[in-house]
Amino acid sequence: MKEFWDERYGAKEYIYGTKPNAFLIDQLAKINHVGKILFPCEGEGRNAVFAALKGWNVDAFDYSESGKVKALQLANEHQVMVDYQLADATLFDFGTEKYDVVAFIFAHFPANLREVIHHKAIQSLKKGGHIILEAFNPKQINNNSGGPKDVSMLYTEEILSGDFKALTMLTLTTEQVVLDEGAFHHGIADVVRMVARKDW
């Protein structure tokens, strides 16, 4: 899969665009202080750069070298700093009580890895910290607007409520939206959206 993403992100254009994810924009605006934020599987950097422009201290990672190159190029264009690491999600050190927000924006994992990675994210949150997540749900398999073609990598409200049961659920909805995020996330899409807070 690393080769797949290196090739995809190796295109000259930003294949998911340079504009931030709409749900992320809305949810970050509701958090009344800026702090430290992590973007797993951040690809070309559009969301990380947006958060940095809003004053957040941004960490990001992906295992694609070509994704990192484009992310840092975008950060440089906007004159912001993003600490972007090359790492696999299963090996990345999320840390403990380190982040105010962890934002999973279309970060899909196989079922056997998903729970482990989500648990690491919970542990990495400070008290009062938030998980912001948008992902494709199983209905997306019928759409041509992006996402994995393996239904086991698509998320439901039930899956997410289980993975994040240790947190206080603030938002958990299944929605149909229109994506306008570059050539590979474009058109009608079926998504699940979640915001959860760590109260301990």
Q: What is the pTM of this model?
A: 0.97
Cα–Cα distances (Å) from 79 to 18, 53, 76, in that order, read 15, 9, 5
How far is it, in rounded angstroms, from Cα 132 to Cα 27?
A: 7
pLDDT of 4: 86
Looking at the structure, give the CATH architecture of the domain made up of residues 2-197.
Answer: 3-Layer(aba) Sandwich (3.40)
Average pLDDT value for residue range 135-149: 96
Q: What is the pLDDT of residues 4-37, one digit of tens each?
A: 888 888 888 998 999 999 999 999 999 989 999 9
Domain segments of the chain as ranges: 2-197
pLDDT above 70 covers what percent of the chain? 100
Q: Predicted confidence band at 3 (pLDDT cuts at 50, 70, 90)? A: confident
Listing from the earlier edge strand, what are the strands of the sheet with 125-136?
83-86, 57-62, 36-39, 99-105, 125-136, 186-197, 168-180
